[in-house]
Amino acid sequence: MGEAGMGLGLQAIIIIGIMLFLLAIGTEIFAAIGAGALVGLILFLNQGSEHFALSMWNWVNSFTLTAVPLFIFMGAMLAHSGVIRLLFRGADRIISFLPGGMAASSLLASGVFGAISGSSIASVAAFGTSVLPEMERLGYKPRLAIGSVVMGGTLSVLIPPSVILIGYGAYMGLSIPRLFAAGLIPGIILMLLYLITVIIMATVRPDLCPPKVKYSFKEKLAGFLDITPALFILTVTLGSIFGGIMTPTEAAALGGFLSIILSLVFRKLNLTIVKESALTAVKTAAMLMPLIFIVKIMGYVFNYLGTTDALAAFMASLPLGKYGILSVIFFIYILLGFIMEGISIMLLSLAFVAPILTMLGFNFIWFGVIMVVVNELGLVTPPFGLNLFSLHAVVPKYSIFTIASAAVPFYPAVLILLTLCVVFPDIVLWLPFQLY
């Protein structure tokens, strides 16, 4: 046991040490993880590098994963078509009576757009270029305007269709429709908690926003008409998935086609927009696919060496109880969020966390949603928060620190949702059990 344990520990230290060293010198994360996994395969498992090629074909050749670029393409097309401006204008007219005005409208529109695109980056970039300048023009202070835009983007990773949930489901071999159904109610609750945050901020600090604008009944009715195109695509895509009519990939393809038709109707369709949307989809998929494959290899190495089982046994033996151990896992995720982006954290950790969850008896559908909620904080925490960089890229006059500071008042909303989902797991599990 002693020699075996020392050998196991030394092997793990060598593999992780190589990965951390490469990350420290600026190597891309999938290359750093891949180098560590390759060393483990050759030195400790006595398997040749050809295992990489065989595994890549088996794991990346996935019908499920093709939904990722299709949903990204759909969201990008809709962003170019002018749907976001209509969505925001309609939301603003419908809930103009709330304190916070356009900031609240931005969150509502972000929730609906997130349910269409599934991409946090796309949501932040789209609202940062179209909605944020309008709020600034009308006198909204950056603290409220930036916070609502950057946090609104986090709704896209939870409200289905979610790219990160597709990646989680593909890695774990879980039903994507069940995961989508599990994320719907928590996503709506989080959107409401964000709205409450805006209302409190606008009430306590009226100087953060201009006076509320009053709309007539006719204008409010027009607001509902403005959000109809987005709601139509949302209903068709999610309805076909939850109704069992289409797979997520087929629904994403239909949504992409409808987004092209909508762009044509709004007279926004041209070859440049199609090419840019397709390129955005390809870039996102090119980031996610290699990462899933490389992390799968790393998980295979650690599992074969026995590292994952040893860690699971150690964690299960801690005198903390199942929820105490779960809290430790959450804490580690939050810390990792300061130095890595959410998808990388999720995929890299699953090889170690999954055996622990199995021993503790947690539901993997439930944990997938919980993990996404935790990772939402990573999207808006420096130095690697993707939403921070996405907004800074389209509005460079605001520093990463300024954007991150504007997100802080919304942190309690995420923590409240996390607590609710742990204490009342049916918030996550009720809908998938009802539908399936």
pTM of the model: 0.81
What gap in Å lies between CA 389 and CA 395, rounded to an integer? 10
Asked whether residue 4 carries a pLDDT value surpassing 80, the answer given is no
- Please, which pLDDT band fits residue 50 given cuts at 50, 70 and 90? low
Asked whether residue 413 carries a pLDDT value surpassing 70, the answer given is yes
Instruction: Tell me what the mean pLDDT of segment 193-197 comes to.
Output: 93
Per-residue pLDDT reduced to its tens digit, 299-333: 777 777 777 777 777 777 778 888 888 888 888 88
Per-residue pLDDT reduced to its tens digit, 109-132: 888 777 776 667 777 877 887 788
Total count of domains within the chain:
1
- Please, which pLDDT band fits residue 60 given cuts at 50, 70 and 90? low
Asked whether residue 426 carries a pLDDT value surpassing 50, the answer given is yes
Phi, psi of 340 (to 5 degrees): -140, 160
Q: What is the mean pLDDT of the chain?
A: 81
Among 66-70, 304-308, 330-334, 393-397, the range scoring the smallest mean pLDDT is 304-308
Instruction: Tell me what the mean pLDDT of segment 335-356 comes to.
Output: 75
Closest CA to 128 of 149, 101, 142: 149
Eight-state DSSP code of residue 256: H
Per-range mean pLDDT, top range of 46-55, 345-354, 404-413:
404-413
CA distances from residue 249 to 64, 113, 239, 244, 245 in whole angstroms, order as listed? 6, 18, 13, 12, 12
Q: Print the domain residue range for 344.
A: 2-435
Closest CA to 372 of 144, 168, 188: 168
